[in-house]
Structure 1
Amino acid sequence: MNILIITDSYPPEIRSASHLMQELAEGLNEKGFNVFVATTYPEYNLSKNQRGINYPEFTEEKNIKALRIKTLPHHNVNFIIRGISQLTMPYIFSLKIKKYITHVDFIIVYSPPLTLANLGASLKQFYKAKFILNVQDIFPQNAIDLGILKNRLLIKFFQYMEKQAYKGADVIFVHSENNERFLRNKHPYISKKLIVLHNWINTREFESFERKNYFRKLYGLENKFIILFAGVMGPSQGLDFVIELAERIQDIDDLVFLFVGDGMERKKLEEVARKKNLKNIIFKSFVSKEDYPLLVKDCDVGLVCLADKNKTPVVPGKILGYMGAGIPVLAFLNKESDGHLIIKKAGCGYSCLYGNYNEAENLIRKLYDKKQTLGEIGKKGLQYVKKNFDRDICIEKLINYFK
């Protein structure tokens, strides 16, 4: 059976979405499926040793056929250019997919961008295939909430596109119960298509690594208490909140916030930290997916942040990465996020509402004071993620819809 995964982000690009889709592709391949991945050409969120490499357009990697397609710029650009890129992406993808892939039984599309969901509906007709839509960020609602999308005509256009994408899908997966409720209430006509499929993680990738303090030595942080934020630094994350918190807790001499990644907001955040003369914030470039488990295990706490402008129940993928590595999670999230519930159920750390400076500061100090017992908190997260979000468990649930 041939499975086509369509996503705008895939390794070597380093994002939660990239890792999620690679784990899906590898998991399906291990189950005996013939897997194709159509994605954009690697240009963003790369580690230093992955920049400047020429990648073939169509190649095979670990039995997975990867099609990497050059498109217009779609990250770290203004929203007009990004919008044009996303609108043209389905047409460019369609031509390349039809050129290289002759037969498909099931199409799985990761959204955002929403435009690729419409591509899924189109290819469904072309290949006479079933179309499964994996909705992560609910667009255009999230862009409206963040103030990115304001033009009424554009809002109506994207809402129409959203409706068509949902209509075209045979099954729509969302990653939490409240995301399912949100879409069911907003779009009652798709109620029967909606299924909760929690995001997954391959915990074996983390268990094969021991803490070696490699990154502590590399970054000169051997004797520091490290709170790690690893990922994209964009408007949705609202990391200026963390900068303010770092300023408040400068009295803890050996505590540092380690920001590893890139994004639209990184330069601004670095400038703010520089102007405030904050010595407890360090910025570093992305590390490769292969090195990511080592990085996380070298740190004491994993940080997640979502600005309160977000009004959808999104669960940041970083939470599972920290849990899989067995370190405690510290989360500052919008009130709607199901991340609060996951952290509470797992007992793997603490969360509070984004913008609550006093509570957030108290949680940081609480974790610092508990540094001798952080391993026990981290183990709870690892046990919970193995039971509920392990890759193979989630993929078995997905395979049921291939029948």
Structure 2
Amino acid sequence: MINKTIWIINEYAGSPYHGMEFRHYYLGKEFIKLGYNVTIISSRYSHLFKNLPLKGKEIIDGIKYIWLKTINYGNAHNKKRVLKWFIFMFKCFFLPFKLKKPDIIIVSPIAPFPILPACVLSKFYKAKLIFEVKDIWPLTLIEIGGYSKNQPFIKLMSWFEKFALKKSDIIVSNLPNYGEYLKDIKINRDFFWISNGVDLDEINQIEPLSENILNKIPKNKFIVGYIGTIGVANALDSFLKSMEYISNKNIVFVLIGDGQEKKKLSKIFIHPNIIFIESILKKQVQSALSFFDVCFIGWKKKDLYKYGTSANKIFDYMYSVKPILHSINTKDDLIVKAKCGISVEAENPKAIAEGILNFYNMSKEEREKMGQNGKRYLLAHFTYEKLAKKYIELF
């Protein structure tokens, strides 16, 4: 029995009962199976949660959760969210009064501020400190949000980021090309790639779609579908513009989900073969994917994405045995590696349309082979059971 304790500090960490993010819930369950004690330190409020925690502490599937009280800031773009980052950071300094001594501290923030208390606590407890990068901040704010790199708050965030990269014992990222980013910012350190993936227990708990949703999905059509947040990062405007290059009335785009861009896009792209459907439950995703012929995911044409991505929807797509159309500019493309689809240039509607027509003109057997390649590759490399075993090699 190993009986070591892992703290995971991530103010957006959720659970199936509260809502996303799920990465650390899945890893935590697997760490427990491998003999570790796991505590997740998160915030009692996240704009991603469906249900807010009602207590400051709870045990969820063997994982001890500590929900630190911060502030309710509404949506992702509310300026109060910045205040919440600093409140969470400050409260993390007081964790010694609440918890069992850690052997490993994984700090996995969006904004990098919690690295400061995590570093202090790791030295106090002589615990190994792992800095985990899921999104590159402040670069994401600069490239997607449009902020200047010279803005004082961006400079402050950049200082915290470099502090984390220099002071942590180990650097982990779910981005396959994160090492290129470290070179670009002149940080001479190695990193370890531990991707996102799928929890096989959960993904097999499939629920059927409601009659209301089923009635909105067209029958006897070639469906190119997208499931997920309808936001800026996924460049869905380019996907929808690609319909201008498709004259075949049998090809239909179906987008399932909600997000900040949905209202705008649904007003701009009014077309009989473009269908927007409201979001569905996580357990219904595989049911919805079964109606698609091709799954789409795209990204903005930004340098940010040359360092790779690890979108959860890609793994859902791969598990569904459906071929994938990937619109991205990157060196390390999972879809190419797994031979499970076609990749085209980011934000290029004509190239996206050509990719769709290539799929349409393939035999059903060719598309099925791509889908099977994807699921086979996923099960070989990206189950959370395998990812957790890869992670503990670092401990």
TM-score (norm 2): 0.86
> What is aligned with 1:228?
225
Whole-Å separation in 1 of the counterparts to 2:392 and 2:200: 20
Alignment of structure 1 residues 205-216 onto 2, 5 Å: 205-207=202-204, 209=206
Deviation for aligned residue 1:144: 1.6
Q: CA deviation at 1:379?
A: 0.9
Distance 2:292 2:15 in 1: 23
TM-superposed CA distance for 1:302, in Å, is 2.4
What residue in structure 2 maps to residue 256 of structure 1?
253
Q: Which is richer in helix?
A: 1
Q: 1:380 to 1:270 in 2, by over 3 A?
A: same
CA distance in 1, matches of 2:13, 2:377: 27
Asked which structure has the greater RCO (Cα within 8 Å, sep 6+), the reply is 1
Specify whether residues 386 and 177 from structure 1 end up closer, same or farther in structure 2 by C-alpha distance, changes over 3 A only.
Answer: same
Offset of 1:77 from its aligned partner? 4.0
TM-superposed deviation, 1:85: 2.8
Contact residue 111 and residue 157 of structure 2 kept, 8 A: no
CA distance in 1, matches of 2:286, 2:90: 36
1:271 maps to which of 246, 257, 267: 267
Name the counterpart of 2:7: 4
Name the structure 2 match of 1:301.
294
Asked if 1:67 is matched to 2:70, the reply is: no
What 5-or-longer segments of structure 2 have no aligned partner?
none
Q: Which of 312, 322, 333 lines up with 1:327 in the alignment?
A: 322
Cα displacement (A) at 1:75: 6.7
Moved more, 106-115 or 28-37: 106-115
**SS of the residue 1:291 aligns to:** helix
| CA spacing shift, 1:236–1:118, aligned 2, 3 Å | farther
Contact 1:215–1:298 (CA under 8 A) maintained in structure 2: no
Moved more, 211-220 or 353-362: 211-220
1:238 equivalent to 2:235? Answer yes
1:31 paired to 2:34: yes
Which of the numbers 2, 19, 23 marks the counterpart of 1:20? 23
Equivalent positions of 1:75-154 (< 5 A) are 76-78=75-77, 80-95=79-94, 97-150=95-148, 151-154=150-153
- What is the Cα deviation at residue 114 of structure 1? 1.7
Q: Are the counterparts in 2 of residues 246 and 257 from structure 1 also a CA contact under 8 Å?
A: no
Q: Find out whether 1:316 has 2:310 as its counterpart.
A: yes
**What amino acid maps onto 1:227 in structure 2?**
V
| Superposed CA offset, 1:99-138 (max 9, x none) | 5323211111223232233342233234332111111222
Q: How many aligned residue pairs are there?
A: 385
Alpha-carbon displacement from aligned partner over 1:293-338 (angstroms, at most 9, x marks no partner): 33334433322121113434131322122112322221112x2363
1:395 correspondence with 2:371: no
AA at the equivalent of 2:317: Y
8 Å CA contact 1:215–1:294 kept in 2: the answer is no
Change (3 A) 1:272 1:283: farther
Aligned residue type for 2:354: N
| 1:217 positional shift | 5.4
Q: Any conservation in 2 of the 1:304–1:316 contact (CA below 8 Å)?
A: no
Letter paired with 1:11? S
Question: Partner of 2:285 in structure 1?
Answer: 292
Aligned equivalents of 1:152, 1:296: Cα separation in 2: 42
Asked if structure 2 preserves the Cα contact closer than 8 Å seen for 1:203 and 1:386, the reply is: no
Match of 1:386 in 2: 379
2:276 aligned partner: 282
Q: Is the 8 A contact 2:226 2:296 kept in 1?
A: yes
* Contiguous gaps of at least 5 residues in structure 1: none
- 3-state SS, counterpart of residue 232 of structure 1: coil
* Contact 2:92–2:118 (Cα < 8 Å) also in 1: no
Letter in 1 for 2:125: Y
Does structure 2 conserve the Cα–Cα contact (< 8 Å) formed by 1:4 and 1:108?
yes
Residue 244 of structure 1: CA displacement?
Answer: 1.5
Q: Does 1:195 align with 2:189?
A: no
Counterpart for residue 349 of structure 1 = 341
Provide the identity percentage.
Answer: 23
Residue in structure 1 matched with residue 350 of structure 2 by the alignment: 358
> Do the aligned partners of 2:198 and 2:383 also contact (CA within 8 Å) in 1?
yes
Alpha-carbon distance between aligned partners in 2 of 1:115 and 1:386, rounded to the nearest angstrom = 35
